[in-house]
Amino acid sequence: MSTAQLLVTAGGVALIGWVLWYFFLAGRAGVAARAMGDDVQRVRIDVQGGYTPNEVHVAAGRPVRLDFFRNETNPCTEEVVLPAFGVRAWLAPHETTPVEFTPAVPGTYDFSCGMGMVHGRLVVEPA
């Protein structure tokens, strides 16, 4: 192999490694947030290849409002579902879509994109 071929090969391998890291590992560390507000418990969730924060803590028995800000056009995240609360919402790109419900029963509930590829969880704590 010539030096140029070696460089191209090494570059390709580095690129593959970066792609794997970017899509599967980067920014996947858990980020938890607690809802603020005495009346409606509000949390903003950034949607971009995943949910940030991807763990949200709220209190049972009071209304929750999750403001999903979808900062991408990747179709993966165009829909968010919270099966336990009967929520299925369409998230317009580069806009904030509020999702409101009142969790009655403490527990941990999953939310995800419509395909179930990216996930977050809602931890409902006893009031």
Residues within the interface to Cu ion (CB under 5 A): 76, 113, 115, 117
Kindly state the smallest distance separating residue 122's Cβ from Cu ion, in Å.
18
CB nearer to Cu ion: pick between 53 and 114? 114
Tell me the pairing of strands 32-34 and 41-47.
unpaired
CB nearer to Cu ion: pick between 35 and 78? 78
Token couple for 65: 């409002």
Kindly state the smallest distance separating residue 126's Cβ from Cu ion, in Å.
32
CB nearer to Cu ion: pick between 55 and 79? 79
Kindly state the smallest distance separating residue 28's Cβ from Cu ion, in Å.
15
CB nearer to Cu ion: pick between 82 and 113? 113
The residue ranges of DSSP E strands in the chain, in sequence order, are: 32-34, 41-47, 51-52, 55-59, 64-70, 79-82, 87-90, 95-101, 107-113, 119-125
**Cα–chain-centroid distance for residue 9?**
35
Kindly state the smallest distance separating residue 34's Cβ from Cu ion, in Å.
26
β-partners of residue 89 are 80
Radius of gyration over alpha carbons of the chain, in Å?
19
Helix, strand, or coil here: 39?
coil
